Amino acid sequence: MKHKLTVLVAISAALTLAGCSQTTQSHTQSSQSKTSKVAKNSSDNSNTSTASSKNKDTYTKLSASKMDYKTTASAIAVYAAQKYGDTWEIAVNAAKQGNLGVAFRSKDATGITSDNDGYVYEVSGTGKSSNARYMLAGDGADKQVTIFVKQRNLGTTSLKDIVAYLNQKNDADLVKQLAEKTQLNVKLAGDEDTQKTTNNSSASVIPSSLQGTWYTADTGNGNIDTLTVTDNKINDEAGFSMNVKAKNSGSSTSDGYMKQTTINGISFYSFTNMGQTPGQGSTYLAPHTEDGQSVIVSANSNGRTNAVYWKSEALAKKNSNKQFSDLKY
């Protein structure tokens, strides 16, 4: 009897040990499974974080040193709309549905008083005269931009700082979209400058062979520069403008006069500020022909060519920085 009890105790102990072993193994597998899931989730989160980080790094960026005039106008408009709102925000919102029009106006016509002798750029998204205006001074990324609402000066900043602000806001795509729909040197409804010029001009001063809108890519960086010439006005879109009179009279820094001269066998027209004599500092333009196309040659007082302007952007790009044998460089 004693022997049977001993055997039963031994069997019971064995079964207990077996049960404990299975419980421990099950608990270990469950722990391993949970650990594996946590590791997998952690890996998934890491991948998601990496993907998100990559997406943040792939935003389009603007470059202040590689910006044509349409993109510059668009960038200034978007910046001013965000920074100051008001009429600038109205112009940009309207331009999203249509076009961003930029008119070139004089300070006298807009009533703006500023030390800047350049032109006033008036921005509109509706095709009508607007109070959203800016002026430019200098060149390249350090170009100074003064922003106005009507005649009120809101402040001056550099194109470089405007671009940095827009890149931080990830607004490069919006700027480029508006640039594609930007029209320069437009006539806005209610633009008093057009009427004023017409009323004060009894006769055309600049010859018709120079008049029109001309384009060049001889800028060194592939950008397109636009030259606009009317019967009494020159504007090169970079900030230089001149109201051209028939005679040298007065001393207005925004007015100039024209004289004809021949340099290196080419008939140039010099455009010089009032009160000064033609020479260094004057703008020299000549109607000419290259490759069977009507062009305008821009040169210095020695006849050395600065740029050749063409009737279309396509021709300008095709002949970018090309030197012609009949011109002096």
Q: pLDDT in tens for each of the 329 residues of the chain? A: 444 444 444 444 444 444 444 444 444 444 444 443 434 344 444 444 444 444 444 568 999 988 898 999 999 999 999 999 888 999 999 999 999 999 988 887 788 888 777 788 999 999 888 889 999 988 889 989 999 998 889 999 999 999 999 999 999 999 999 999 999 888 888 754 444 444 444 468 999 889 988 999 987 777 888 899 988 989 886 557 888 988 887 766 668 999 999 998 899 999 998 888 888 778 999 999 998 899 999 999 889 999 999 999 899 999 999 999 999 99
Third-level CATH fold of 69-183:
Yope Regulator; Chain: A, (3.30.1460)
pLDDT at 159: 95
Report pTM.
Answer: 0.49
Residue 242's nearest CA partner among 253, 231, 226 is 253
Q: Give the integer Cα–Cα distance in Å for 166 and 123.
A: 18
Q: Report phi then psi at 285, rounded to 5.
A: -130, 140
Q: What is the pLDDT of residue 326?
A: 92
CA 68 to chain centre: 6
CB 205, CB 244: distance < 8 Å: yes
Paired tokens of 127: 């095709």
**Helices in 58-139 by DSSP H: which ranges?**
69-84, 86-97, 107-110
Question: Do residues 88 and 132 lie in contact, with contact meaning Cβ atoms separated by under 8 Å?
Answer: yes
Nearest-10 crossing angle of helices 86-97, 172-180: 60
Residue 151 has what pLDDT? 86
**Domain locations in the chain as residue ranges:** 69-183, 208-319
Q: Is the distance from CB of 301 to CB of 325 less than 8 angstroms? A: no
Q: For residue 273, what pLDDT is reported?
A: 87
Task: State the pLDDT at residue 204.
Answer: 81
pLDDT reported for residue 276: 85
- Whether the CB-CB separation of 196 and 271 falls below 8 Å is answered with no
* Amino acid 59: pLDDT: 66
